[in-house]
């Protein structure tokens, strides 16, 4: 065996350089350098030569001129790391650093080193293998499917060549629980089993990709909606009944969203965003039924989604297009204005004034809502200060969403903005929106108690619209309930609504809470509600939402 081994390597002696060059070109994200320690000469692989912008394959250590620069925060560790490796120190430890490969963009690199010794055990060569984590793999290691990176390249080709393709995105619902129950390795085995089902059920027409997390995509160049739905239903049935890993049967539930490529689509990112929207519709509104973007089931059309994208970018960048409108809050007994609710609006040409229902839900679930929310609070407090010069006890209500409450700096920011405004704490009321009620109750309780301890009032918005409203009310020490307008619309002709509103107001009086009745749209509704004794009224009968300048004129 030893002779066989020696003969094998000896037969390659004349082609070693060519073999090394060929091996280093097998991956487009890995590079290789070999440094002769005695002379300081370094050989670079062809991939490294191209990526780093080197002019020659052979350089002298310290004299390389490359176009990529090390991130300022990594320079010291970078220099010490490579200096130690040339001295044979920490050879088993990888070196991690970031390189700027294009303007405003850094790729993360990992360098691993090995030393080659001569027969006298003197270090002769240092071999460094560089992994560029900024270049995506084309094949997913867990499932063996092509990756999202490959999918995006294929989508670009479809767009460039006007291919009438259809893409369906499939997500496994609540798959994160599998990691908790069985561990990451077992979850990977489940994902591999899922990939086999997708390959088996897709028919010969489709091509399967693994996307991030527990999501997959299948591309079809030509398929009807009926065929697509039939295939999707077969996949859903198989995921529910055919997954067996290590002898354990696993039941999986999936959701799916599809997009037809058409002439209106100019770039792959549009396809991806539409797929995601359709998938969310499937999961949240259609119980996993396949949703095709643009049909009657999927509420947003292409124009709406593009509009949301523009609004989202404005929210991140410069607050451009955003403004606050205010709706008066009046004393229920006297009808005199005593406060206002701040309402977000967006207007830009050529779109005009866009209804908040188009974008509020999207923004509330995005990280940008924290900074945008701070701007809303700051602006509302400043405008309230203007009014309070005329009406000293004037107050402003501002809606806050779950993402704001969960931000670790939110408490401090509110107090900072309140102090800056010069208003008293009780002139600010934070309205907890419907989505906040799905937060952990213990967490929500701590936040409410904190703000109330600082003198800031807290209201429960849209009371009665969610199944959790009563439960939340019993646990949260809020100051005010806002009764949703769905209960007051045409209340004078609806006995059930009359009984509900009366019982809520009676309860708040006994609990020493204030009540604001929304949706007071006309005099008939106002006159009927007067006898219930609510603290505050709000609605079109008094005024539509308006800019602060118009509200000042009204006062």
Contacts of 10 (CB under 8 A, 6+ apart): none
Query: What span, in angstroms and rounded, lies between the C-alpha atoms of 281 and 233?
Result: 17
Q: What is the pLDDT of residue 374?
A: 94
SS (H, E, C) 341-375: EEEEEEEECCCEEECHHHCHHHHHCCCCHHHHHHH
Query: Is the Cβ–Cβ distance between 156 and 57 less than 8 Å?
Result: no
Q: CB-based burial of residue 399 (10 Å sphere; 0-12 exposed, 13-18 middle, 19+ buried)? A: buried
Query: What span, in angstroms and rounded, lies between the C-alpha atoms of 387 and 379?
Result: 13
Higher pLDDT, 417 or 19: 417
Q: What is the pLDDT of residue 63?
A: 58
What is the side-by-side order of every strand in the sheet holding 206-210? 146-147, 206-210, 215-220, 166-172, 254-260, 291-292
SS (H, E, C) 80-141: HHHHHHHCCCCCCCCEEEEEEEECCEEEEEEEEEEEEECCCCCEEEEEEEEEECCCCCCECC
Q: pLDDT confidence of 136, banded at 50, 70, 90? A: low
Query: What span, in angstroms and rounded, lies between the C-alpha atoms of 274 and 390?
Result: 50
Query: Is the Cβ–Cβ distance between 148 and 212 less than 8 Å?
Result: yes
Nearest 5°: the CA angle 440, 445, 450 is 130
> Mean pLDDT across the chain, nearest whole number?
84
Higher pLDDT, 163 or 264: 163
Q: What is the pLDDT of residue 382?
A: 97
* 258 pLDDT more than 80: yes
Query: What span, in angstroms and rounded, lies between the C-alpha atoms of 289 and 129?
Result: 47
* H helix runs in 242-301, sequence order: 268-284
Q: What is the DSSP letter of 433?
A: P
- Where are the strands (E) in 17-94, listed by range? 30-36, 41-44, 58-60, 69-70
Mean pLDDT of 148-152: 87
Q: What is the pLDDT of residue 304?
A: 65
Residue with token string 């903005």: 417
CATH superfamily for 146-300 is Reverse transcriptase/Diguanylate cyclase domain (3.30.70.270)
Q: Which of 115-119, 316-320, 446-450, 470-474 has the highest mean pLDDT?
A: 446-450
Q: Report helix, strand or coil for 217.
A: strand
Lowest mean per-residue pLDDT among 187-196, 198-207, 401-410, 457-466: 457-466
Query: What span, in angstroms and rounded, lies between the C-alpha atoms of 13 and 22?
Result: 15
Q: Which residues pair with 36 in a beta bridge?
A: 41, 125
Q: What is the DSSP letter of 462?
A: E
Q: CB-based burial of residue 302 (10 Å sphere; 0-12 exposed, 13-18 middle, 19+ buried)? A: middle
Higher pLDDT, 345 or 2: 345
Query: What span, in angstroms and rounded, lies between the C-alpha atoms of 210 and 146?
Result: 6
Mean pLDDT of 499-507: 88
Residue with token string 């091996």: 23
Q: pLDDT confidence of 469, banded at 50, 70, 90? A: low
Domain 308-554 of CATH type 3.30.390.50: no
Q: What is the pLDDT of residue 275?
A: 87
- In the chain, the percentage of residues whose pLDDT exceeds 90 is 29
Kindly report, residue by residue over 514-527, the tens digit of the pLDDT.
999 999 998 988 88
- Backbone angles phi and psi of 109, in degrees to 5: -120, 150
Higher pLDDT, 306 or 521: 521
Query: What span, in angstroms and rounded, lies between the C-alpha atoms of 106 and 509?
Result: 60
Mean pLDDT of 437-453: 86
- Find the farthest-apart pair of alpha carbons in the chain and give their distance in angstroms, rounded: 105
Query: What span, in angstroms and rounded, lies between the C-alpha atoms of 166 and 154?
Result: 12
CA atoms within 13 A on the CB side of 64: 22
Query: What span, in angstroms and rounded, lies between the C-alpha atoms of 33 and 256?
Result: 46
Query: Is the Cβ–Cβ distance between 407 and 447 less than 8 Å?
Result: no
Q: What is the pLDDT of residue 312?
A: 73
Helix (H) or strand (E) holding 504: helix 495-510
Q: What is the DSSP letter of 391?
A: S
Mean pLDDT of 310-329: 81
Whether this model's pTM surpasses 0.85? no
Class of domain 10-132: alpha beta
For the chain, the straight-line distance linking the first and the last C-alpha, in angstroms and rounded, comes to 99
Which CA distances in Å does 260 have to 87, 158, 218, 307?
58, 11, 12, 19
- In the chain, the percentage of residues whose pLDDT exceeds 70 is 89
Mean pLDDT of 173-181: 78
Q: What is the pLDDT of residue 504?
A: 86
Higher pLDDT, 255 or 205: 255
Q: What is the pLDDT of residue 226?
A: 92
Q: What is the pLDDT of residue 303?
A: 61
Q: What is the pLDDT of residue 443?
A: 87
Q: Which of 311-315, 333-337, 428-432 has the highest mean pLDDT?
A: 428-432
Query: Is the Cβ–Cβ distance between 430 and 451 less than 8 Å?
Result: yes
Q: pLDDT confidence of 468, banded at 50, 70, 90? A: very low
Long-range Cβ contact pairs of 193-199 (< 8 A, separation 24 or more)? 193/243, 193/244, 193/245, 193/250, 194/143, 194/239, 194/243, 194/252, 195/143, 195/144, 195/145, 197/235, 197/238, 197/239, 197/242, 197/243, 198/145, 198/170, 198/235
- Where are the strands (E) in 404-523, listed by range? 428-432, 457-463, 480-483, 514-517
């Amino acid at each position: 065996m030893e002779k066989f081994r020696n003969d094998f390597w000896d037969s390659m002696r004349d082609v070693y350089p060519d073999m090394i060059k060929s091996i280093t070109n097998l991956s487009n994200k890995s590079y290789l350098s070999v440094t002769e320690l005695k002379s300081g000469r370094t050989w670079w692989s062809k991939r490294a030569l191209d990526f780093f912008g080197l002019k020659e394959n052979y350089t002298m250590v310290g004299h390389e001129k490359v176009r990529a620069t090390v991130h300022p925060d990594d320079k010291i560790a970078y220099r010490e790391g490579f200096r130690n490796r040339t001295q044979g120190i920490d050879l088993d430890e990888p070196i991690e650093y970031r390189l700027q490969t294009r303007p405003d963009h850094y790729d993360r690199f990992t360098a691993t080193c090995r030393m080659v010794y001569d027969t006298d055990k003197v270090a002769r060569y240092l071999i460094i293998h560089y992994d560029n984590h900024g270049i995506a793999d084309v094949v997913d290691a867990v499932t063996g499917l092509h990756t999202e990176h490959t999918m995006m390249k294929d989508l670009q080709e479809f767009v460039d060549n006007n291919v009438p393709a259809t893409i369906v995105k499939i997500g496994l619902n609540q798959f994160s629980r599998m990691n908790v129950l069985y561990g990451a390795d077992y979850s990977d085995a489940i994902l591999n089993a899922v990939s086999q089902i997708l390959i088996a059920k897709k028919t010969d027409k489709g091509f399967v990709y693994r996307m991030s997390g527990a999501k997959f995509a299948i591309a079809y160049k030509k398929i009807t909606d009926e065929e697509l739905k039939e295939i999707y239903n077969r996949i859903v049935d198989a995921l529910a009944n055919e997954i067996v890993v290590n002898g354990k049967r696993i039941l999986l539930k999936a959701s799916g969203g599809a997009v037809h490529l058409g002439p209106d689509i100019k770039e792959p990112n549009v396809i991806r965003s539409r797929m995601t929207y359709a998938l969310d519709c499937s999961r949240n509104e259609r119980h996993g039924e396949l949703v095709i973007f643009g049909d009657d089931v999927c509420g947003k059309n292409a124009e709406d989604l593009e509009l949301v994208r523009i609004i989202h970018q404005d929210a991140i960048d410069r607050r451009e297009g955003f403004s606050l409108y205010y709706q008066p809050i009046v004393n229920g007994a006297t009808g005199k204005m005593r406060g206002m609710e701040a309402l977000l609006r967006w207007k830009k040409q050529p779109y005009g004034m866009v209804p908040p229902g188009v974008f509020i839900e999207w923004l509330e679930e995005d990280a940008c809502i924290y900074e945008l929310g701070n701007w809303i609070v700051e602006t509302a407090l400043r405008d309230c200060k203007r009014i309070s010069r005329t009406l000293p006890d004037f107050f402003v209500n501002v809606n806050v969403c779950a993402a704001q409450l969960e931000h670790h700096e939110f408490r401090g920011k509110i107090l900072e903005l309140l102090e800056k405004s010069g208003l008293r704490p009780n002139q600010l009321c934070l309205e907890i929106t419907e989505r906040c009620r799905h937060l952990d109750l213990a967490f929500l309780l701590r936040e409410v108690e904190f703000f109330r301890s600082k003198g800031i009032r807290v209201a429960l918005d849209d009371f009665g619209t969610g199944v959790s409203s009563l439960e939340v009310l019993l646990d949260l020490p809020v100051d005010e309930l806002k009764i949703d307008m769905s209960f007051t619309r045409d209340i004078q002709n609806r006995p059930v609504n009359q009984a509900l509103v009366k019982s809520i107001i009676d309860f708040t009086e006994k609990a020493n809470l204030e009540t604001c009745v929304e949706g007071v749209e006309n005099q008939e509704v106002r006159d009927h509600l007067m006898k219930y004794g609510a603290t505050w009224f709000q609605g079109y009968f008094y005024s539509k939402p308006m800019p602060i300048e118009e509200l000042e004129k009204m006062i």
